[in-house]
Chain A
Amino acid sequence: MGITLEDYRDVTPPGTVDFLRRLARSVEGKRMLHVNSTRYGGGVAEILHRLVPMFEELGVKARWEVMAGSDAFYRTTKGFHNALQGTIQHITADMYEAYLACNRENAQRLDLEADVVMIHDPQPAPLIDARKLGAKWIWRCHIDLSTPQRSVWQFLRPYVVRYDAAIVSLPKFAQRLPIPQFLIYPSIDPLSDKNRELSVEEIDRILHRLGVPRDKPILLQVSRFDRFKDPVGVVEAYRLVKKSHDCRLVLAGGTAVDDPEGAEVLAEVQTAVGTDPDVHLLLLPPTANLEINALQRAATIVFQKSTREGFGLTVAEALWKGKPVIGGQTGGITVQLIPGVTGFTVHSPEGAAFYTKRLLNEPDLMTAIGRQGREYARHRFLITRHLQDYLGMMIHLSQAA
């Protein structure tokens, strides 16, 4: 039997499940449709797999449609994705036309009949052309729109302004738009393989398989090998700590096959690491959820030392596992880390090293911060809060109508 809402009762704050059931009464029977561009892979699909059944359990008639597109379409939207996140791309007129044609085909193919339609990210944004009278359409943007390539945003904007509302994950991702823009943080699923409880035996077995001994404190960063994640800065911080405290560093992440910069950054990290046997570079596939879970649970301190970050849900994952987190003072990390309470925010490898040493020297502080971080994540970054926000959005839009 699958996971039900009741299974969340033990991991969410008191009264949460009852509150959700009461809240959902005002939208019971409403038809809600989610549309995105992939059924598997990526954070959006991962969260929809769990959210849609939760909506159904609450009496909302939820459906999920996935766009179909050619390779050319996905190459174009990958370009859009990068451009909107601030990396300059060359998008040709033909590519724009192929993108719109694909959306027109999908508008014919997909069943878009619903009371509330939530369109996820830029790929299906032009489906708004197929909107039926009376339906409420929401554009849910999961990506960092803070410094978009203007030409691409100007192309997309005329579609976005025709929605009833937009949702972004951080205030700084909001754009100048004539429609209301709401703030909904992403979330983690405490019952998924990436976040569920693991036994000591499971953790030991997985770390053994990954070749990471548990003989000394483990410092961990889970992230792509991307300059904005500053993996070389993490190695520098580790070296400073290592002068006085014996420890291991694990850098776990992947590089996308279509990301030449990733390979370059990985090479820089390998050079920085040299032959240090206490540093472990783990290239993991996107499906390595249990491995990430075990590494986070085995870690003593978790880093997310980004110099630029979208939301940075790896922070919430680590907080949920009761780990103190040291993160860069940027993006969503600043929302998740309350300095001295759930972790520390820093601006340099030296800052990261300073707080790492302090935490290693003060196990009681580490325990207290870990406990507080877990409670903070419980209240603010679990999927039940995400579900609550989406229900609130449906209620608000129906009241506005």
Chain B
Amino acid sequence: MNNRARAPFRFIGCMELREILGVRAHDEQRLLELIEEVPSGSIHYHTHSYFLRHAYLQGRYPNDFATWVAVHVQDPILGERLAAIDPFDYEDLQALRTDIAGIIAEHLSHMKTIPRVVAGEPFEFVRSHVIEVDLGVEAWTLKEFRDGLEGVEAGAIYNHVCEARMRKGRVSGDFASWLLAKEGLDMPELAEQVMKVGRLGLGLEGVRERIVRLCDQALVAR
């Protein structure tokens, strides 16, 4: 364990600019077809950006596909099945896309008629452009890391947990990686706990709160 890291952790915030793809689904069959066709950035947006959009509050389900079929198509069974998908189980978007499509296809194979929007809105496919911003906050010690995490805007948590994992291939997420690294704080136990927080299905503020609490416990234990 290092009391002071050899390389600091730099908090990088982010925002997303949303681009409308101009394709929409009014029923579950069309939803399936479009899920198979749209750019992977759109799959990422509808399964991950949820966390950025719902930093404080969680919506009904943790991805847009599940919410749409449950709320707008009023097909709660498919909604629940899609809601159970954990994007953190996947290391690439193609596998995630395949599983989502598979669940919808399997569900439709049991339906006599295709469920469609009657009194709701169509599903609109969107993708996002993520813009990163160095927040000028860096941490050399666990205390500085904890304080930095507590004060940064929620986009930084999204960037270091969600973006790092899926779009940048840093599977453990940036926080756990730095806590684990020899040139970081070399704290494998804390790193392991922090990595697990990303899997709890919390909103970004929930992730922030848990990791800050874990840091506080580690600071007390020292």
Q: Shortest beta-carbon distance, A153 to chain B, in Å?
A: 15
How long is the Cα–Cα vector from A308 to B16 in the complex, in angstroms?
A: 28
Cβ-defined contact, B134 with A22, below 8 A: yes
Apart from A329-B121, A395-B131, A396-B131: 4 A-B pairs, beta carbons within 8 A: A23-B131, A338-B60, A341-B58, A392-B131
Chain A contacts with B in 309-354, Cβ cutoff 8 A: 329-331, 334, 338-342, 345, 347
The yes or no answer to A56 lying at the interface (CB within 8 A) is: no
Given contacts A372-B57, A379-B55, A380-B53, contact A396 B17 (CB under 8 A): yes
Q: Shortest beta-carbon distance, A83 to chain B, in Å?
A: 21
Cβ-defined contact, B17 with A182, below 8 A: yes
The number of chain A residues touching the other chain, given as a range, is 35 or more
A-B contact count (CB 8 A): 108
The yes or no answer to A16 lying at the interface (CB within 8 A) is: yes
Cβ-defined contact, A172 with B124, below 8 A: yes
Which of A173-181, A197-205, A224-232 makes up part of the contact surface? A173-181
Contact string against B for A residues 370-401, beta-carbon threshold 8 Å, 1 for contact and 0 otherwise: 00100110111000000011001101100000
Cβ-defined contact, A329 with B119, below 8 A: yes
Chain B contacts with A in 122-171, Cβ cutoff 8 A: 122, 124, 126, 129, 131, 133-136, 150-156
Cβ-defined contact, A171 with B126, below 8 A: yes
Which residue in A171, A183, A339, A393 is a CB contact (below 8 Å) of B71?
A: A339
B-binding residues in A (CB < 8 A): 13-16, 18-19, 22-23, 168, 171-172, 174-177, 180-184, 329-331, 334, 338-342, 345, 347, 372, 375-376, 378-380, 388-389, 392-393, 395-396
The yes or no answer to B18 lying at the interface (CB within 8 A) is: yes
How long is the Cα–Cα vector from A335 to B44 in the complex, in angstroms?
A: 19
Residues of chain A within 8 A (CB-CB) of B22 are: 174-177, 181
How long is the Cα–Cα vector from A395 to B122 in the complex, in angstroms?
A: 30
The yes or no answer to B24 lying at the interface (CB within 8 A) is: yes
Q: Shortest beta-carbon distance, B203 to chain A, in Å?
A: 10
How long is the Cα–Cα vector from A79 to B18 in the complex, in angstroms?
A: 30
Cβ-defined contact, B136 with A181, below 8 A: no
Residues of chain B within 8 A (CB-CB) of A330 are: 121
Residues of chain A within 8 A (CB-CB) of B13 are: 15, 19, 22-23
Q: Using CB atoms, name the residue of chain B closest to A181.
A: B20
The yes or no answer to B214 lying at the interface (CB within 8 A) is: no
Cβ-defined contact, B19 with A181, below 8 A: yes
Which residue in A18, A168, A182 is a CB contact (below 8 Å) of B153?
A: A18
Given contacts A171-B24, A172-B121, A372-B57, contact A15 B156 (CB under 8 A): yes
Cβ-defined contact, B133 with A376, below 8 A: no
